[in-house]
Amino acid sequence: MSDTEYKFDIVVVGCGIAGLSAAVSAQEAGARVALLERAPKEDRGGNTRYTESFWRMKSHDEVSDDLEEQLAANAGGYLDPEIIRDAALPYEQWPPLLKGLGFTDPEVITTLANNAGPTLNWLAGFGVTFDFLPNYFITQSTTRIAPAGGGLALVEALVAHAESVPDDITIFYRTTARELIQDGAGAVAGLCAVDADNRHVEFSAPAVVLASGGFEGNPEMQSRYFGPASQFIRPVARGGYYNRGEGIQMGLGAGAAPCGDFGSFHAQPVDPRSGRHEPVILNFPYGILVNNSGQRFTDEAPSTVDASYEAITRDIMNQSQGIAYTICDAGLDDVPNWQKSVRTDQPPVEAGDLDSLAAALGLDGLADTVHAYNAACRSNGEFKALEPDGLATHALDPAKSNWARPLVRPPFRAWPVIAANCFTFGGLKIDNRARVVNMDGDAIPGLYAVGETAGLYYRTYTGSTSVMRGAVFGRIAGQDAAGLKL
C-alpha cells in the first residue's frame, strides 16, 4: 500500500533537459503533469545543469553537415545484412525482429535532425539565446551552437515556465521513481516512487516518460557493464551522481528492448585533483601521455582533439589504476590560447628538467620514454598548431600522428588525467515518437524514454548531440503522451 496517491495525465521522471522538455510540451498540449526529481531543488537539472550544452548545428535551423553521417556510422556493431535489409522499407512494414533489434533506427536519427531546429527555436521562445560561443577545443572538426548561460539557462527557463503553471505541472523534489505500474493488458498505468522520508508514493497516469538519465552514478551497474576499471572513473559533474539507472532498469523490467552500447560511455579526460565540474585536460596532442610506469600507450594526436579525445580517454581508463599524465614542455606556449583546453583549478606539476619532473610524479621510466620519443621526432615539416600538420614520429610504437615535436624546452609541465563518465550509452530502445519498444518490436503502451535513458550511441559519442537529443525527443514524447491523457 502507498502512503500517498496522486492522479495525473502524465508522469515525467527527471528534471534535466529531456524531462523538462517533455513536461512543458505536454502541458502546452493540455495535460496535467507530475515531474519527479530525485535531487533537491538546489541541484535540479541533472547533467544539463552543468554542461555548456553545445548543439551540433550550423545555424539556428540546420544541423551540421555531418550529423546524420556520424550517428549512422555509430548506430550498432556488425549488423546482419539479412536482418537489416528491411530497414529500407517504411517503418510500419518492418518485421518485429528488426524493430526490436539493438541498433539505432535510421528514423530516429532522421527525426533528430529534422526536429533540432524547431526545438531550438521552441526553447528560444522561453527567453533562451543561442549563439556560436567559445568552447574548450583548440581544434575542431564540426560546427556547434550553444545557449548563452549553458544548460543551466535551459533548466531555469523551463522550470520558470513550469512554476508559472502550478496547476498544470507539479514538481516533486527528492522523489525517486522505483517501479512501473502496468494494467492487465500491459499498458502503463503509472509508477511507484519513494519520497525523502522513504515513504511510498503512487502516481496514477496513462503515460510515463522516463528521463532519469543513465547509470553513471551507480557503481554496481558500471562494474557490471564496464568491468573492474570502472572503479577508477567518476561522473564528470555533480548531476551525474543522481543518475543511478532506475529508469533503465524499470524499462527493461517491463520488457523493453535494449539499445545503445551498454559496455561504454561518453568519456572525458579530467584532472582527478579537481572538484570542479568538467575539469578537462585537453592539451595532450601537443605533448605526450604516459601511464604510471612512465610509458606511452596511445597516439596522442590522431586527428583534431574534439574527434579523438574520447577514444584516448578510454585508453587512459585501461591503464594501471586508471590514470595517466600529460607531459608538455615550453613548446606548449607556441599554441595560441592553449589555456582554454585546461579547465582544472589545480596547477600543473612543473620542473626545470625531466629528472626532477619524474621524481615529482614518481615516474621512474619517464626520462627514458621522453628521450625515445624525442629521437623519433624527425620530421622537417612545419608545425601548425591549429590544424593537423602531419608532424609524426618515425619508428616509434605507438606512433604520434600530428604535432610531434621534441620535448626539450624547460619548464616541463605535467597534469594527471583520469577518465570521467559524462553519461552512459546503454538505454531503452525507442521509436521516432520516443515510445519504448519491447523485445518483440511493439511499442509498450504509455511508456516513453528520452535523454540518456534512451539508448542511441555505440562506441563513440557524436559530439554536441546529447542535450539536443534530450530536448528533441523530450518535446516529442510530451506531445505524444498528451494524446493519451484521460
Lowest average pLDDT, out of 138-142, 395-399, 459-463, goes to 138-142
Task: Tell me what percent of the residues of the chain surpass a pLDDT of 90.
Answer: 93
Is residue 24 scored above 80 in pLDDT?
A: yes
pTM of the model: 0.94
Q: What is the mean pLDDT of residues 271-296?
A: 96
Render pLDDT for 205-218 as a digit per residue (tens, 0 to 9). Answer: 999 999 999 999 99
Q: What is the mean pLDDT of residues 412-434?
A: 98
Q: What is the mean pLDDT of residues 469-477?
A: 98
Is residue 1 scored above 60 in pLDDT?
A: no
Is residue 126 scored above 90 in pLDDT?
A: yes
pLDDT band for 486, please (50, 70, 90 cuts).
very low
pLDDT band for 485, please (50, 70, 90 cuts).
low
Pair 208, 447: CB distance under 8 Å = yes
Render pLDDT for 238-273 as a digit per residue (tens, 0 to 9). Answer: 999 999 999 999 999 999 999 999 999 999 999 999
Model pLDDT, residue 394: 95
Render pLDDT for 76-107 as a digit per residue (tens, 0 to 9). Answer: 999 999 999 999 999 999 999 999 999 999 99
Is residue 60 scored above 60 in pLDDT?
A: yes
Model pLDDT, residue 372: 97
Task: Tell me what percent of the residues of the chain surpass a pLDDT of 70.
Answer: 98
Domains by residue range for the chain, with CATH: 4-264+425-482 (3.50.50.60), 268-420 (3.90.700.10)
Lowest average pLDDT, out of 170-174, 256-260, 386-390, goes to 386-390
Render pLDDT for 99-114 as a digit per residue (tens, 0 to 9). Answer: 999 999 999 999 999 9
pLDDT band for 134, please (50, 70, 90 cuts).
low
